[in-house]
Amino acid sequence: MANDRAQRGGEMGMNGLHYEGGQFLPNTTLGKLPPKAKRQSTGKVEVAPYVWEERREGFRPIYRVYNAFWQRCEVGFEAINNPTALAAYGRTREEVQSAADRFNAGERWEKVTF
């Protein structure tokens, strides 16, 4: 299609709708589709690998906060040994290892403190 924009002053597209001057013209006879409906959130968060639970007010899941700094080991998770990555997010290895130890012991939530 050589002329893919509407002429000055507007024109009708092949789908029967009016297009203002300069707007792109359709290349099909189909009309405009209705907007997609937005998905509703379930309110669940991942508290362990592939385990989802309802969000608890005033708490956050340990796994979701620290899992980027963990690696798998025989007993569960342990802190990574990458000072650059830890420093980039303002974390210390001791803090991350403490969270991994709590997670390995069965804790899944920590209280949010501001």
pLDDT digits (tens, 9 = 90+) for 91-101: 999 999 999 99
In a domain, residue 59? The reply is yes
Do 24 and 53 belong to one domain?
Answer: no
In a domain, residue 91? The reply is yes
Do 95 and 49 belong to one domain?
Answer: yes
Q: Using alpha carbons, select from 19, 29, 96, 16 the residue that is nearest to residue 3.
A: 19
In a domain, residue 50? The reply is yes
Q: What is the pLDDT of residue 113?
A: 83
Q: What is the pLDDT of residue 2?
A: 56
- Does residue 34 register a pLDDT over 80? yes
Mean pLDDT (whole number) for 1-28: 88
In a domain, residue 37? The reply is no
Two tokens, residue 84: 């650059």
Two tokens, residue 92: 């210390």
Do 101 and 49 belong to one domain?
Answer: yes
In a domain, residue 7? The reply is yes
Strands 51-54 and 59-61: unpaired
pLDDT digits (tens, 9 = 90+) for 36-73: 888 888 889 999 999 999 999 999 999 999 999 999 99
Do 50 and 98 belong to one domain?
Answer: yes
Q: Give the structural domain span for 97.
A: 44-111
**Number of domains, the chain:** 2
pLDDT digits (tens, 9 = 90+) for 19-28: 999 999 999 8
